[in-house]
Chain A
Amino acid sequence: MIPGAFDYVRPSSLEGALTALRAAGDDGKVIAGGQSLLPLLRLRLAYPEILVDLGSVPELSGVRDEGSSLLVGAMTTHYDVLRDPLIHQHAPLVAAATATVADPAVRHRGTFGGSLAHADPAGDLPAVALAMDAVFVTSSREIPASEFFSDYLTSALEPDEVLLGVRLPKSYAGWGFHYEKFHRTAQAWAIVGVACLVQRSNGEISAARIGLTNMGSTPIRASAVEQAVTGGAANREAFRAAAESAAEGTSPPSDLHGSAEYRRHLVTVLTARALSKAASV
């Protein structure tokens, strides 16, 4: 649990951070809250030569109202996300998922952007971002969530590209929401998680968006379930039937906490439950 040697810079401006990253090339790594990266360093699973700390870049923290969307600064801590009234008003699913992240100590240090950029399919926020069609605003472009998560622990970010913030559309006003997280202990990662948004009208589901945690090397949309529930009755039987296809197109891992087979079963149960809770039935 002792990291190898690395250099460390803490620039006070975005330009400074970008310059440092460009100079470092493939040997540089951005550090935000460090709650995912530091364990990798301490276990010597990652050997960056220079860490570029964004902690002193002022414009990266906080939640901003942009009219039709919110822009959550990449360096906003989970704790600050949880306390933000704009998040609760316009993106309560984000608040619900963030509340399940690890423990209070981690939530005080860990950041919204860092957690997403880490692109861990077992993390709670990637599935939420995917379900919400969030947009990743970087130092050079905007990347839709559907293109951001490219592989296990791999995002579309280039080595010299910095995630500035994440745009969350306000278009889910009035939708039901729920994040169903299944884990063995409160501080553990999700074995499977289901992020769910549903729009109800006249006892039916008129639209649904479901993101799955830890069901593959990236977060995955449960498109088959979304289609199956849309236009159908908002009741538990219908949800259960629709959720039968929740494992379609997934390739979950097998590890100490659950086999792939178990995860494929679990995701059907949890998706049905998430739908019921999101639709309040």
Chain B
Amino acid sequence: MTAAPEIGSARLRSEDARLITGQTNWTDNIQLPGLLHVAFLRSPVAHGRITRIDAEPARGRPGVIAVFTGADFADEQGSLPTAWQVTEDMVLPDHPPVAVEEVRYVGEPVAVVVARDRYLAADALEAIDVDYETLPPVLDMDEAIKEGADLVHADKGTNKSYEWVFAAGDIDAAFRDAPVVIERRYVQQRLIPAAMEPRAVVCSVVGDEYTLWSSTQIPHVLRLMLATVTGIPEHRLRVIAPDVGGGFGSKLQVYGEEVACLLLAKRLGRPVKWTESRSEGNASVHHGRDQIQRLSLAAEADGRIRGLKVDLLADMGAYLMLITPGIPLLGAFMFNGIYKMDAYHFTCSGIFTNKTPTDAYRGAGRPEATFAIERLMDELASELSLDPLEVRRRNWITHEEFPYDTIAGLTYDSGNYEAATEKAHRLFEYDKLRAEQADRRERGDPVQLGIGISTFTEMCGLAPSRVLGSLAFGAGGWEHASVRMLPSGKVEVVTGSSAHGQGHETAWAQIAADRLGVPFEDVRVLHGDTSISPKGMDTYGSRSLAVGGVALYNACEKVIDKARRMAAHMLEADEQDIEFANGTFSVRGVPDQVRTVQEVSLATFLAHDLPEGFEPSLDSDATHDPANFSFPHGTHLCAAEVDTETGFVKLRSYVAVDDIGKVVNPLIVEGQVHGGLAQGIAQALYEEAVYDADGNLTTTTMADYLLPAATDLPTFTTDRTETPATTNPLGVKGVGEAGTIASTPAVVNAIVDALRPYGVADVPMPCTPERVWRACRAGGAQEAGRAGGPEHSPRPGAGGGLGSAGGEA
């Protein structure tokens, strides 16, 4: 009997029924006896000194149990951690979970109310009286680095946290006498992660045992960091991530609210819960992107790239959080994309501003890099009057050249850019669309057609620990898995990866079922609780499958190795003669002499008759540290109809051909690609965190921070090529971020391509109808790469009277 292989099967996700119907414990659903509710008072000013806080009126409000200010916590709240010291002299300011003397962004916590219910807590916030002596806010990165600029952290004497440089090849030689030099300035606008489930924390203390439930991506990292910050011994702290409704990097964090809830439970001796509201979250969840990119590309007359210079200003926001300073540096190795070049020079300055801190957001550094190089490739094509696909062909690494050592110092193990592009080209009907484009241009159609290309790669599977060490990252990049063979033949898998919507419970069960030869239904996957899954590095950076999945694979191999010895004993055969396939051990050449893995498991449990010196357990665990990153790639093609009269952009078709190596579950991959595309397209067209001149966040509601729904997106055509990763036994690369990384430049390239005849060389993101319309009007007069613009009005006000909602929680 040969079952269809589990790895590669498009199984429906077994966790979906409970997630979709809500028959589960989200953190906010958790009820404990005596539970109290927490609300944070947040700074309404971008920069100011707290001169007085009067919390007494709030303490007298009905149902209020306690009110604490930052000063009340000052002795024990510590400073929120940063795990990435990117340079030796990096400026790392103190970051109290609740502000004590000074506030540095709108939304920073300044006091905390604990009350009998959530409503009473929210009402009491209004009774806390705070006086601020306002200080000048630092809002513009270019201004922040000028001599004599106002300072976010006066005691540091600078707004620059660090400057980080990478250089390879002779960059001066590459630019000297270069026939073509393209110079551009692009802006990666600030984005606000919008996970479906807002952040939530519940904390209880019994004796000296603490339990913290949090809607987090990183229960293991969080436990260590919270123990370090609060002094609670690590072994007395249990962190649980129940079902978590998305994160996109925003829950890869150690938040002040988590620390505060621990301190509150400790002080009050009662369990507490905090759940953020959406508008509260928009101001206080860490933000993403926010870079100014100055780019220079030198090329030969035939389009071959000689060298690339990248100079970044990266907005850290007001403080460095868990991996804030490292995020733009994850892009440092990706600006060269899939292309060959002789020289590369990268500089990044991390800048403090009086805005919400930034940190990881889906793609984390790599979307920014991919956007830059893929936009530049289109600009180069335009400069040389070449088809943008042809320019890419002339520069990309060909499939015969793998493994390939890139100019940025990475070794791309595998890939086939030609195959993915050929497939995308065909599915897209590229030539037909080019013909239609020519026709519309000829006719002067007010609706022009543009074709956008993105031939991307990314580094996934974060990360080889030795590489992280060389980058001064504060942890390794391994992942852990264990497999428990239960006496009844069922299997429990424990993983250190921490699912928050991706479908690990299904995919991990498929891997275990495939390797162990047991039915899929017989595998249960456990995760997200430090008492159940004691070791892990959690889920981010498209690392789960390429690192955690491989750890599981290795653990399964160990189980089989043990079981083979036991089976040999049971079959009275030599271990070398035992074959294992489809869950069955047999003796080579004697096919009717078999023992199933379940039989072996039971016999091991009974332990009545074991081989000499055999430990009576098949259970195994494995900790996998990847030898290299993995490098998914793909070719994305986008067709956009641009209404030159209104500036409205309609995406007509979108083809995504991704090469993510071997696939465990094609349905999960499809979901990841669709969601990723929506998110990347949203950066191109819709999303932007906007601050006004005083540093108030104006996009506090969904009416002003626009996210697309299914109705706003085209039908995606997705397909794959399959070039297995050579650096792990599963051949997998990771897919969580691919769609997001690839799609943003594809969309903007399409818009610019549509408007080339109007003299347009760039439209700043998000490409709102007004910006597109203005770009058309400005035409040839447009300064290439100019971002922002005088039209930019920071006033919210989408309608419904919500327009003056700024800053309210």
User: Which chain B residues lie closer than 8 Å to A42 at the CB level?
Assistant: 277
Does residue A8 face the partner (Cβ distance < 8 Å to B)? no
Residues B801 and A189 in contact, CB atoms below 8 Å apart: no
Does residue A173 face the partner (Cβ distance < 8 Å to B)? no
Does residue B95 face the partner (Cβ distance < 8 Å to A)? no
- Chain A nearest CB from B26 CB (Å) reads 17
Does residue B227 face the partner (Cβ distance < 8 Å to A)? no
Instruction: Type the 1/0 row for A144-161, where 1 means its CB is closer than 8 Å to any CB of B.
Output: 000000001100000000
Residues B798 and A188 in contact, CB atoms below 8 Å apart: yes
User: Which chain B residues lie closer than 8 Å to A43 at the CB level?
Assistant: 279, 701, 802, 805, 808
Does residue A122 face the partner (Cβ distance < 8 Å to B)? yes
Instruction: Type the 1/0 row for A238-280, where 1 means its CB is closer than 8 Å to any CB of B.
Output: 0000000000000001111111011001100110000000000
Residue of B nearest to A102 (CB): B800
Does residue A2 face the partner (Cβ distance < 8 Å to B)? yes
Q: How far is the CA of A103 from the CA of B708 in the complex (A)?
A: 13
Does residue A174 face the partner (Cβ distance < 8 Å to B)? no
User: Which chain A residues lie closer than 8 Å to B770 at the CB level?
Assistant: 257-259, 262
Q: How far is the CA of A122 from the CA of B803 in the complex (A)?
A: 11
Residues B802 and A186 in contact, CB atoms below 8 Å apart: no
Residues A5 and B706 in contact, CB atoms below 8 Å apart: no
Residues B280 and A1 in contact, CB atoms below 8 Å apart: yes
Residues B280 and A153 in contact, CB atoms below 8 Å apart: no
Q: How far is the CA of A153 from the CA of B794 in the complex (A)?
A: 21
A256-B796 contact, Cβ under 8 Å, with A44-B808, A153-B801, A185-B686? yes
Partner of B703, one of A45, A189, A269: A189
- Chain B nearest CB from A117 CB (Å) reads 12
Residues B773 and A265 in contact, CB atoms below 8 Å apart: yes
We find that the number of chain B residues with CB closer than 8 angstroms to chain A is: 46
Instruction: Type the 1/0 row for A171-210, where 1 means its CB is closer than 8 Å to any CB of B.
Output: 0000000000010111111110000000000000000000
- Chain B nearest CB from A233 CB (Å) reads 21
Residues B796 and A45 in contact, CB atoms below 8 Å apart: no
Does residue A4 face the partner (Cβ distance < 8 Å to B)? yes
Residues B711 and A189 in contact, CB atoms below 8 Å apart: no
Residues B277 and A1 in contact, CB atoms below 8 Å apart: yes
Partner of B795, one of A5, A256, A270: A256
Residues A255 and B703 in contact, CB atoms below 8 Å apart: no
Residues A1 and B796 in contact, CB atoms below 8 Å apart: no
User: Which chain A residues lie closer than 8 Å to B773 at the CB level?
Assistant: 262, 265
Q: How far is the CA of A270 from the CA of B791 in the complex (A)?
A: 20
Instruction: Type the 1/0 row for A214-254, where 1 means its CB is closer than 8 Å to any CB of B.
Output: 10000000000000000000000000000000000000011
Partner of B793, one of A39, A191, A255: A255
Q: How far is the CA of A13 from the CA of B278 in the complex (A)?
A: 37
Q: How far is the CA of A2 from the CA of B198 in the complex (A)?
A: 14
Of A43, A152, A261, most buried by chain B (CB within 10 Å of CB) is A43
Q: Of residues 701 to 727 in B, which have CB atoms within 8 Å of A's CB atoms?
A: 701, 703-704, 706-709, 711-712
Q: How far is the CA of A30 from the CA of B707 in the complex (A)?
A: 31
Residues A45 and B804 in contact, CB atoms below 8 Å apart: yes
Residues B712 and A186 in contact, CB atoms below 8 Å apart: yes
Q: How far is the CA of A115 from the CA of B707 in the complex (A)?
A: 24
Residues A261 and B803 in contact, CB atoms below 8 Å apart: no
A255-B796 contact, Cβ under 8 Å, with A185-B686, A185-B706? yes
Q: How far is the CA of A200 from the CA of B243 in the complex (A)?
A: 60
- Chain B nearest CB from A8 CB (Å) reads 14
User: Which chain B residues lie closer than 8 Å to A214 at the CB level?
Assistant: 799
- Chain B nearest CB from A4 CB (Å) reads 6
Does residue B768 face the partner (Cβ distance < 8 Å to A)? yes
- Chain B nearest CB from A194 CB (Å) reads 12
Residues B704 and A256 in contact, CB atoms below 8 Å apart: yes
Of A39, A120, A182, A184, most buried by chain B (CB within 10 Å of CB) is A184
Of A40, A254, A262, A266, most buried by chain B (CB within 10 Å of CB) is A262
User: Which chain B residues lie closer than 8 Å to A190 at the CB level?
Assistant: 799
Does residue A138 face the partner (Cβ distance < 8 Å to B)? no
Does residue A123 face the partner (Cβ distance < 8 Å to B)? yes
Residues A45 and B279 in contact, CB atoms below 8 Å apart: no
A2-B793 contact, Cβ under 8 Å, with A45-B805, A122-B799, A262-B773? no
Does residue A36 face the partner (Cβ distance < 8 Å to B)? yes
- Chain B nearest CB from A149 CB (Å) reads 14
Residue of B nearest to A270 (CB): B646
User: Which chain A residues lie closer than 8 Å to B769 at the CB level?
Assistant: 182, 184, 191, 258, 262
Does residue B441 face the partner (Cβ distance < 8 Å to A)? no
Residues B699 and A256 in contact, CB atoms below 8 Å apart: yes
Residues A254 and B793 in contact, CB atoms below 8 Å apart: yes
User: Which chain A residues lie closer than 8 Å to B690 at the CB level?
Assistant: 256
A2-B277 contact, Cβ under 8 Å, with A186-B709, A256-B704, A261-B791? yes
User: Which chain A residues lie closer than 8 Å to B805 at the CB level?
Assistant: 43, 45
Q: How far is the CA of A81 from the CA of B703 in the complex (A)?
A: 25
Does residue B166 face the partner (Cβ distance < 8 Å to A)? no
Residues A254 and B708 in contact, CB atoms below 8 Å apart: no
Does residue B675 face the partner (Cβ distance < 8 Å to A)? no
User: Which chain B residues lie closer than 8 Å to A4 at the CB level?
Assistant: 123
Residue of A nearest to B648 (CB): A182
User: Which chain A residues lie closer than 8 Å to B808 at the CB level?
Assistant: 43-45
- Chain B nearest CB from A30 CB (Å) reads 15
User: Which chain A residues lie closer than 8 Å to B354 at the CB level?
Assistant: none
Residues B795 and A255 in contact, CB atoms below 8 Å apart: yes
Does residue B419 face the partner (Cβ distance < 8 Å to A)? no
Residues A269 and B645 in contact, CB atoms below 8 Å apart: yes
Residues B798 and A122 in contact, CB atoms below 8 Å apart: yes
Q: How far is the CA of A152 from the CA of B802 in the complex (A)?
A: 12
Residues A262 and B798 in contact, CB atoms below 8 Å apart: no
- Chain B nearest CB from A90 CB (Å) reads 28
Residue of A nearest to B710 (CB): A186
Chain A to chain B contacts (Cβ below 8 Å), 25 pairs: A2-B277, A5-B119, A40-B801, A43-B701, A44-B808, A45-B804, A45-B808, A118-B801, A123-B799, A182-B646, A184-B685, A184-B686, A185-B706, A185-B707, A187-B709, A187-B711, A188-B703, A188-B799, A189-B703, A189-B798, A253-B795, A256-B699, A256-B793, A266-B646, A270-B646
Name the 9 nearest CB pairs between A and B, nearest first: A122-B799, A189-B799, A1-B277, A255-B797, A2-B122, A186-B711, A262-B770, A254-B793, A255-B795
